[in-house]
Amino acid sequence: MNTKLQTIFAKHQGRAGALLPILHDIQHELGYVPEDAVQLIARELNLSRAEVHGVITYYHHFRQTPPGKHVVRVCCAEACQANGSEALAAHAAKRLQDADVTLEPVYCLGLCSIGPAVQIDETTLHAQVTPKKFDALMNELGDRK
Amino acid sequence: MSVAVYVPGDAAALALGADAVAAAIAAEAGKRGEEVRIVRNGSRGLFWLEPLVEVATAQGRVAYGPVTAADVPRLFAADFTQGGKHALRLGDIEAHPYLAKQQRVSLRRTGIVDPRSLDDYLAHGGGKGLAAARAMQPAAIVQAMTDSGLRGRGGAAFPTGIKWKTVLEQSAEQKYIVCNADEGDSGTFSDRMLMEGDPYCLLEGMAIAGFAVGANKGYIYVRSEYPHAIVALNAALENAGDWLADFSIEVRQAAGAYVCGEETALLESIEGKRGIVRSKPPLPAISGLFGQPTVINNVITFASVPDILAQGAAFYRELGVGRSRGTLPFQLAGNLKFGGLVEVPFGATLRELLYDYGGGSRSGRPLHAVQVGGPLGAYLPASQFDTVLDYEAFAAIGAALGHGGIVAFDDTVDMAKQARYAMQFCANESCGKCTPCRIGSTRGVEVIDRIRAGQTEQIALLRSLCDTMTHGSMCAMGGMTPYPVLSALNHFPEDFQ
């Protein structure tokens, strides 16, 4: 982890307000921001550990524990609610209860005309997801061992 | 010669399978020995037709949609690369009533140009605003903004010219231009579409702002839920060469805090801190990013700037009604048959958007409630559908246009539940700085739960709580959460009984 962190720190050397970019890079690299990283980040940026911890815990995006093999996010904001996202979210929770998949709500993916919307592993998007379509997507993902 | 085939790379098109369509077109063309050049354009904003594939023919662009990967072999068999007949053929998409009736200004190139190509942007009329600005005095540019009547498109609708003038008048070593691309409102996606489909327009608007107020550094703060927009902006910046001269722009990824759409929380976040709202004054125009004078505007505000300078302030001011000048890209979302992007001058009615464009509900049931302006916007009943879409008309009925998001619900919606959601959302997203928002939202959820359990005498308490939040909160997060709550209560009282 140390070498990876040093590479990331070097990349952001001298950048004003570098904490969020650094945290993004760490999470991108490791999947989460480990507790051990906090002290190193604090030292690098001349901040207290409390300040770094405060930022990590303030933002929904940053994780403090490793996610599952995949991260599935179901949009639960109003526009998707109008098209049945609540039932989809409940279905997803049931389907994924024993899977090595992190299920999270997300509040708007900007796909508000074609909801309910689902995001898989940050970049893959799916629209008009019914429970049936969700199952097909999860089968493809291999959520069941 | 190879044929240009446009397959949108917009996130909505991707969610509907555009990547698979692009791959199928490349594979089928290879198999047939036909040369095609696939361009990943933005979206035209007619989402029920996505993926909307267009082919550049001698007679102009011919559209087909919605195309699936499975349709591709049959499209080739029908000579679609020459504009051939096929069941999915739509012809010239700009002649489609949905587009023909619109008056696009800020999104005029979105869905048309190759977002990665500066040359394509310039060939489609981009760059003229910046060229005009460079031949003007800074004060004249600011005056043009004032004359155009442009107001901030993020939701607060503050006059852009006044904001820029304040920054111009400050003397400081360093000034900043910040673009608020933290488009967190549900039901909104115009910023996303522009950043993915015509990023150079945003860069041009920011560079003009920099030139006008004397700033050489810009930041674009983009929400982390928009990874494709971040990629598109960075690609555009990489391909920009020295077009922006000494004005540099950095893209910053947000981290999932809704309140960072509030301008001072956003500035804190760029500085690397918790996105906590600042007290105003001082205004960001006087003491903004890193304590320096800062212009902070929404994506669509900046994207409106190049045209105002290229075509003159009068061109823009002549559009719209009352004190709402120009156009607003409305976003039709939720339970509508024809959801999408509708950019029209202020002055249309909500009903026109819902029915003439939106085609009524997707579910086929009656439209019952429409939330305008995101999670902090009011729910409007059918009796208010004839309200004119302008800032003042909406303010007059206790509502807000906000960023132009329109979310439609059919008659299966439970409005007490929606009111509870609004309070819960505020509780989750409050930055915690002021008490009415931090504590009031949690108490609000509890009170609504009791009302829904039958304690209707608590409605008076809910109203009193909303009053405290409205008048006691530091920013719109706590201050406007009462909009959806009270509008639900006032217009749909039966759901609270």
B324 and B313 in a common domain = no
Residue B179 and residue B133 share a domain: yes
Structure tokens at A105: 């709500």
Instruction: Give which of A78, A104, A123, A125 to mutate to test B binding, by max B Cβ within 10 Å.
Output: A78
**What is the per-residue pLDDT for B93?**
98
Do B126 and B177 fall into the same domain?
A: yes
Contact B255 A62 (CB under 8 A): yes
B399 and B419 fall within a common domain: no
Which of B225, B339, B408 is facing A109, going by the closest CB pair?
Answer: B225
**Residues of B with Cβ-Cβ distance to A119 under 8 angstroms:** 225
Q: Is the dihedral of CA B151, B155, B158, B164 positive or negative?
A: negative
The number of folded domains in chain B is: 4
Verify that A45 and A88 share a domain, yes or no: no
Per-residue pLDDT reduced to its tens digit, B42-61: 999 999 999 999 999 999 99
Domains held by chain A: number? 2
CA distances from B12 to A140, B2, B45, B392 (A): 21, 27, 9, 32
Least CB–CB distance from B192: residue in A18, A81, A110: A110
Are A53 and A6 in the same domain? yes
pLDDT level of residue A144 (50, 70, 90 thresholds)? confident
Residues of chain A neighbouring B418 (CB-CB closer than 8 A): 78, 81
Domain-embedded: residue A74: yes
CATH code at position A133: 3.40.30.10
| Nearest-angstrom CA–CA distance, A71 and A101 | 6
**B107 part of a folded domain:** no
| Percent of chain B's residues with pLDDT above 90 | 100
Interface residue B377 vs chain A (CB under 8 A): no
d(C-alpha B75, C-alpha B62), whole Å: 12
What pLDDT is recorded for position A123? 82
Residue A63 is assigned to a structural domain of this protein: no
Residue B109 belongs to some domain of the structure: no
Instruction: Encode pLDDT of B177-193 as tens digits.
Output: 999 999 999 999 999 99
Are A51 and A94 contained in the same domain?
A: no
Contact residues, chain B, for A24 at CB < 8 Å: 224, 253, 255
Interface test with B, best of A113, A118, A128, A140 (most B CBs within 10 A): A113
| Cα A44 from Cα A66, distance rounded (Å) | 23
Region of A65 on the Ramachandran plot (φ > 0 left; ψ -120 to 50 alpha; else beta)? beta
B157 touches A: beta carbon within 8 Å: no
| A84 and A41 share one domain | no
Answer with the one of B362, B383, B410 that is the final residue of a domain. B410
User: Six-digit token pair at B40?
Assistant: 């990943």
Percent of chain B that is helix, strand, coil (3-state, to 5): 45, 15, 35
Chosen domain end from B346, B381, B410: B410
What CATH code is carried by the domain that includes residue B395?
A: 3.10.20.600
If asked whether residues B326 and B305 sit together in one domain, one would say: no
Instruction: Find the domain containing A96 and state its range.
Output: 70-141
Q: Which helix (H) or strand (E) holds B438?
A: helix B435-452
Domain check: are B183 and B217 in the same one? yes
Task: Kindly identify which residue of chain B lies nearest to residue A52, measuring between CA atoms.
Answer: B273
Structure tokens at A60: 């929904």
Q: Which of B89, B458, B469 is nearest to B489 (CA)?
A: B458
Tell whether the model's pLDDT for residue B90 goes beyond 90: yes
Residue B152 in domain? yes
- Residue carrying structure tokens 């359990």: B453
Q: For residue B113, is it within any domain?
A: no
Domain assignment present for residue B276? The answer is: yes
A65 is a domain residue: no
User: Under an 8 A CB cutoff, do A24 and B255 touch?
Assistant: yes
Within an 8 Å CB–CB cutoff, is residue B226 touching chain A? yes
- Chain A residues close to B181, C-beta within 8 Å: none
In this structure, are B267 and B280 located in the same domain?
A: yes
Residue A1 has pLDDT above 90, yes or no: no
Residues B373 and B403 in one domain: yes
Q: Which residue of chain A comes nearest to B428, CA vs CA?
A: A60
> Are residues B22 and B58 located together in one domain of the fold?
yes
Average pLDDT for residues B163-178, to the nearest whole number?
98
Residue at which a domain ends, from B100, B132, B163? B100
Whether the per-residue pLDDT at B173 is higher than 70: the answer is: yes
Q: Which residues of A touch B290 (CB under 8 A)?
A: 16-17
Residue of A nearest to B49 (CA): A114
Domain with B258 in it: 118-317
> DSSP of B371-431, one letter per residue?
EESGGGSPEEEGGGTT-BSSHHHHHHTT---TT-EEEEEETT--HHHHHHHHHHHHHHH--
A20:B184 CB<8 A: no
Q: How many CB atoms lie within 10 A of CB B14?
A: 26
CB of B120 within 8 Å of any CB in chain A? no
Residue with tokens 């406007």: B480
Whether residue A74 is found in the same domain as residue A22: no
Q: Do A128 and A101 fall into the same domain? A: yes
Q: How confident is the model at residue B164 (pLDDT cuts 50, 70, 90)?
A: very high
**B202-219 pLDDT, tens digit each:** 999 999 999 999 999 999
* Burial (CB count <10 Å: 0-12, 13-18, 19+), residue B135: exposed
Q: Does residue B108 fall inside a structural domain?
A: no
Shortest CA distance to B437 belongs to which of B481, B401, B490, B396?
A: B481
Residue A27 and residue A88 in one domain: no
Q: What is the pTM of this model?
A: 0.98
Q: Are residues A12 and A52 in the same domain?
A: yes
**Contact residues on chain B for A113, CB-CB shorter than 8 A:** 12, 47-48, 189, 331-334, 336, 339-340
Residue B457 lies in a domain: yes
Mutation to test the A interface, candidates B14, B16, B225, B487, most A Cβ within 10 Å? B225
Task: Kindly tell me if the per-residue pLDDT of A143 is higher than 90.
Answer: no
**Does residue B63 lie in a domain region?**
yes
Q: Do B11 and A77 touch (CB under 8 A)?
A: no
| Maximum Cα interatomic distance, chain B, rounded to a whole number of Å | 75
Tell me, yes or no, whether A52 lies in a domain.
yes
Summarised one tens digit per residue, pLDDT across range B2-43 is 999 999 999 999 999 999 999 999 999 999 999 999 999 999
Give me the CATH number covering residue B89: 3.40.30.10
Find the mean pLDDT for residues B394-406.
97
Shared domain check, B424 and B386: no
Q: Kindly tell me if the per-residue pLDDT of B372 is higher than 70.
A: yes
**Which residue, chain included where needed, has tokens 């540099």?**
B248
The pLDDT, as a whole number, for residue A145 is: 59
Tell me the pLDDT of chain B averaged across its residues.
98
Q: What was the pLDDT predicted at A45? A: 97
Residues B91 and B123 in one domain: no
Residue whose structure tokens are 């072999």: B73
Question: Which CATH number belongs to the domain containing residue B435 in this structure?
Answer: 1.20.1440.230
Other C-beta atoms within 10 Å of B2: how many? Answer: 11
